[in-house]
Structure formats: structure tokens, C-alpha cells
Amino acid sequence: MKSLSKVEVKGLEALFYDELISLVSGFTYKKFLTQVINDMNIRQNQSILDFGCGSAMALCNFLTHTKGQIIGLDIGKTMLYRAYKKCKYYKNVKIFKHDIRKKTPFLVDKVFISFVLHGFEPKDREKIINSAYANLKQNGEFCILDYNEFDYYNKPLLFKKLFDHFECPLAVDFINIPIKEILRSVGFSGFYEYYYYRGLVRLLVAKK
């Protein structure tokens, strides 16, 4: 059975991921990501765990905000290679090959996940959320950068065609789920949100 997920980026798309995401975003992604990380309110010496770190675009930004431990997890061979190459000279950055559905021994101040959660089946999303909760210190924050909730079916035809081309069917499911209710059921509370790209994208921060 063919997987519905496109969460693992492979091949040439992985090799040129940074360039492609910049192109698709109309060359706004770098500025957008900088704003997102500013909105995360990272304090000096806080530790951060990045679920699905990809080519380390966020990891490099975290370095300008904290001297604490920064850990990136991913499963993609090419993405990990690019991440290692970018971060190998930074002693406070560690990168590991790891499936984020499985728990790790790390305990950090913030867990970050960027455009990854929507690409998993519902049962796997819950595993990831539980992993994030287990990895956070008390009062730590789970920072979810992903699509906001919106009415996909009432969007213009061109929007839906582009969304379907670049995204997996699981993304349509994701934008319709009550994500805060799922987070509350695990133990998260004290939510706050930031919106980007005319409200289509959201940084949802959930406090442990």
C-alpha cells in the first residue's frame, strides 16, 4: 500500500531542499523562519530539541539565541548529511538519526517541530506529541510550526491544486483536527499562537 505521507524528503529534493523551499515561498522563507524563531522567545542558555531538523535551517537560527544544548533529530540520509555539514563546528549542536515517534532520553526547555506533524497518520501524531511531552522539562514549551486550521474545501481551485501537488493527503486531515484538544489530553496547557502568510501558517506554543 502506497504511503500517504511525504514527511521524509529524499533524492534531489533533499539535496536542494533549502533552495527549493526558498523558491516555493517566493524567497521569503529565510525572513519568515527568523521571525518564527524570534516569536519563540528563546532565552540564553535554554536547550532545544528539533523534531525533524532536516537540513538544519532552524538549528542555525537557534544558535543566535542560545548557548544551550541544541539537538536535531531526523531520519533522512541526505538531510542529515546537510545538517552535519552546517553544524559540525558548533560544540553545543548535536545531530542524531532518530525516528521522532520513539522517545529519547533528552530533557530540554523547548521542543520544536516544523511542517512535520501534518505528514503523519493520526496515531503517529499522538506518539510524537507524547514524545515531546516526555522530552520537556516542567514549564517547557512544545513549539509547533505548521498549517493553521482553515476550511480547505472553500479555498479557490488554484489554491487546492497547488496544495494537493506539494502536500500529502494527510495535510488536509491535519488542518481540520482539534490539535489543542489532543495536546490538552496529553497534559499541555497555556497555549499561545502566532500567524504567518495571511493566517495559513501558525506557530502554536503549548506549555507543559
Q: Which domain holds residue 90?
A: 11-207
The reported pLDDT for the residue numbered 17 is 56
Q: Is the pLDDT of residue 54 over 70?
A: yes
pTM of the model: 0.88
Choose among 44, 137, 13, 60: nearest CA to 72: 60
The reported pLDDT for the residue numbered 14 is 47
Residues 85 and 55: their CA atoms lie apart, in Å, by 9
> Sorting pLDDT into bands at 50, 70 and 90, what band is 89?
very high
Whether 38 is in a domain gets the answer yes
Whether 20 is in a domain gets the answer yes
Backbone phi, psi, residue 202, to 5°: -135, 140
Q: Name, in order, each residue with C-beta under 8 angstroms of 170's C-beta and a sequence gap of 6 or more.
A: 4, 5, 118, 119, 120, 121
Whether 110 is in a domain gets the answer yes
Whether 1 is in a domain gets the answer no
Whether 2 is in a domain gets the answer no
pLDDT tens digit sequence for 104-123: 999 999 999 999 999 899 99
Better-predicted residue by pLDDT, 19 or 117: 117
The count of structural domains within the chain is: 1
- The domain that holds 31 is classified in CATH as 3.40.50.150
CB neighbours of residue 190 within 10 Å: 10
Q: Can you tell me whether residue 137 is helix, strand or coil?
A: strand
Whether 59 is in a domain gets the answer yes
Whether 5 is in a domain gets the answer no
The reported pLDDT for the residue numbered 104 is 93
- β-pairing, 189-196 with 108-114? unpaired
Q: Name, in order, each residue with C-beta under 8 angstroms of 8's C-beta and a sequence gap of 6 or more.
A: 75, 76
Whether 80 is in a domain gets the answer yes
